[in-house]
Structure 1
Amino acid sequence: MSKNKVNVETVYNISNYLKDDNFLPIYFLYGEDDYTISKTVKFISKKVDPLVTVDFDRETLSMNNKSSVSQIVDLASSFPFGDGKKIIIIKGFENCNDKPSFASYVQNPTDFTILIITQSSKSVNTRNEPYKSLFNKGYLFEASELKGQYLQQWLVKKAKQEEMELSSESAKILTEMVGQNKALLEMQLRKFRDYLKDSREITPEIIESLTSVTKEYNIFNLQDALGKGEKGRSLEIGYNLLDGSFDMMFIISMLTKFVSTLMKIIELRGKRISDKEAASEANLSPYYYSNCKRATFLLNEKRLMKAAEALLNADIKLKTTSADQKIIFTILIAEILN
């Protein structure tokens, strides 16, 4: 599986397959990065749209568990209304119950239709149909989630596109504060662009101040409240996060990272090294590392072990029960700070 996965082309090279008068008949995009998949669909659509001569030749279908591949094939095989191409966007291919049958169309697609298909899944098995045929034909593209330095590089490039300067260090701080969700990161960049005036540089100080100004409740505030042992404030922030654009899975993920960082800080206390050296060894920005050191209430091995156990319990409840996310969050905070 790992060998197959390495060989699949990445969506970040999609422009190489969008040359004038030489478009692919199928662009099959899959992966966990829904943000990038959505952006790529729009990018492909914009590139091929001039080939469509009438609006009736633009179609978008969202598949569900009652949908069949025959719907896609029938639509793709019917002739265009105009004298140009047909563009069909298929969303949620993972919901189709007869996926292997799509292989026959992949092996002999029509020359007047361009299919853009999305599938939300971590991976595909290129030994099975229709992915085997899609892979062999060169129609398969993966949107894997960027992490670590690759996400930071993407963020630096995105900031440059918005005519702002963002250093690698500042990009690291922003991902540590906001998380790895590209949509949220892009939203923060837009807010920075609106607030910055004469200077276009996004510094660590600006990141903290503007994140606080533009979003009263953020994950950084929650970490700070927990680090001080403030139960009421933690609940207030968490409820507002859940009422906004965050879900419980994201909160658990970020708090798990926070607890792991605090454990690392305790481990590094025994070494006679500076905060900058300790941050480097922990693979964190000095700014984030220094902020975590202020979490005096939780900087205790027993409390951190209790917090780690509480996060694991919350994760299990979230995945195995239908309990309300706020109830799970309330229990989580009580177990961490009790």
Structure 2
Amino acid sequence: MVVKYSQLLADLKKKSLKPVYVLAGEEPFYIDAITRYIEENLLTPDEKEFNQTIVYGQDVDVDMLLSECKSYPMLSSFRVVIVKEAKNLKNPDKLLPYVKNPVESTVLVLAHKNKDLDRRLQLTKELEKSEKVALLHSEKERESDVPRWVASYCKDHGIDITQKATEYLSEFLGNDLQKIVNEIGKLRLIVGEGKAIEHEHILDNIGLSKEFNVFELQKAIATRNLKRAVSIAVQMGNSKNTSILAILPTLYNFFTKGLLFKYYMGVEKLSADQTSMKLKLFSIQKNDIVALHQQYSVAQLKNCIREVGIADLYAKGINAPDMDEAELMRNMVLKFLN
């Protein structure tokens, strides 16, 4: 049966166990978290020695795996068998009879990271309906939902963080949850217990400067401040802490939202506030997107998106001119503002 991450984790903590756990999808954070919890907490250290087996999908065939699952536990009430990289298992359909009638004294975990199950297959249909299976579809968070996710994560872990800081983390790191959690951990140590994480801490500590960062670059581009935009672009290109490949997705999203803003205001005749709500713009984005809408035509925004794509190819070494990152950034920004 299909379960949500929060319910699955709560059941595990209560030792309300299923014989089979299938963790599948494009968001590795939830899959890693559940796998790690099972690996570290279901058995005691002494029990693990004889009753916990961890294998990788590419290294085990289904017959060997089923044999392992059917073994009896020793000095424990159950065994744990974890298959990491389960997407690499060959002939997974051979698991179907076991899924229909699993061994109650074994907890089988299939960690199927970075790829969801094919829902057309009989095996998937059985996993979804069986009461003896906990199936997690681990989906990527939408970027517009990431600030809310960050706030919830921090609350659950006793971390105080401002709304603006959640937006900065989302804007700079996108929806990479593991990267966000890693940065929150670092910021917590830097800020100290009992103090809130502010957006200034993010600017100071995750490769951004207060003057030369992607937010200031977007503001300069949106207001057509050529001198400042070029200055920021060159400074960022020369920074050892900033890669152009980390900046380009943010700029792509920025111009795409500007294009959508124009569509909703021009075609659907929504107000600026209605459009901002529809696009779920963060407070730090709204003014710059409005300025972008006012200063750029549809054709100009499409050109900006095209130039971001060209810069991405160049940064990856595809048909690249003889330019360093600072020159690539400068050249791209000049084309935005032509």
Q: Is the structural similarity TM-score above 0.5?
A: yes
Deviation by residue 1:97-125 (Cα, 9 ceiling, x = unmatched):
21111112212222222111111245323
Deviation by residue 1:110-164 (Cα, 9 ceiling, x = unmatched):
2222111111245323341321222221422211122256433332222123333
| Among 305, 308, 311, the residue aligned to 1:308 | 305
Kept after mapping to 2: 8 A contact 1:30/1:141: yes
Give SS of 1:18's match.
Answer: helix
Shift of 1:36: 1.3
Equivalent position of 2:22 in the other structure: 28
- For 1:104 and 1:172, locate their aligned partners in 2 and report how far apart those are by CA, in whole Å: 47
- For 1:102 and 1:173, locate their aligned partners in 2 and report how far apart those are by CA, in whole Å: 45
- For 1:21 and 1:293, locate their aligned partners in 2 and report how far apart those are by CA, in whole Å: 51
Q: Which amino acid aligns with 2:205?
A: T
Equivalent position of 1:211 in the other structure: 202
Equivalent position of 1:137 in the other structure: 130
Equivalent position of 1:78 in the other structure: 71
| Among 248, 253, 256, the residue aligned to 1:257 | 253
Q: Which amino acid aligns with 2:185?
A: R
Alignment of 1:1-338 (within 5 A): 8-15=2-9, 17-18=11-12, 22-50=16-44, 53-64=47-58, 67-138=60-131, 139=133, 140-148=135-143, 150-166=145-161, 170-197=165-192, 200-202=195-197, 206-207=198-199, 209-217=200-208, 221-222=213-214, 224-225=216-217, 227=221, 228-230=229-231, 231-237=233-239, 240-242=241-243, 248=245, 251-263=247-259, 279-280=276-277, 282-290=279-287, 300-301=296-297, 303-313=300-310, 323=318, 333=329, 334-335=331-332, 337-338=334-335
> In angstroms, what is the RMSD of aligned CA positions?
4.2
Q: 1:299 to 1:40 in 2, by over 3 A?
A: farther
Shift of 1:70: 2.1
Task: Among all aligned residue pairs of Structure 1 and Structure 2, give the percentage whose two residues are the same amino acid.
Answer: 16
Q: TM-score, normalization: structure 1?
A: 0.74
Shift of 1:215: 2.1
Shift of 1:11: 2.3
- For 1:323 and 1:13, locate their aligned partners in 2 and report how far apart those are by CA, in whole Å: 46
Kept after mapping to 2: 8 A contact 1:311/1:332: no
Q: 1:164 to 1:79 in 2, by over 3 A?
A: closer
Shift of 1:91: 1.0
Shift of 1:261: 3.7
Shift of 1:329: 9.6
Structure 1 residue runs of 5 or longer lacking an equivalent are 1-6
Stretch moving more, 113-122 or 274-283: 274-283
Equivalent position of 1:4 in the other structure: none
Kept after mapping to 2: 8 A contact 1:8/1:135: yes
Structure 2 residue runs of 5 or longer lacking an equivalent are 222-228
Q: Which amino acid aligns with 1:130?
A: L
Shift of 1:225: 4.1
Q: How many residue pairs were aligned?
A: 315
Q: 1:253 to 1:34 in 2, by over 3 A?
A: same
Shift of 1:317: 8.8
Deviation by residue 1:147-203 (Cα, 9 ceiling, x = unmatched):
25643333222212333333556534432233221122223322332333586334x
- For 1:29 and 1:328, locate their aligned partners in 2 and report how far apart those are by CA, in whole Å: 44
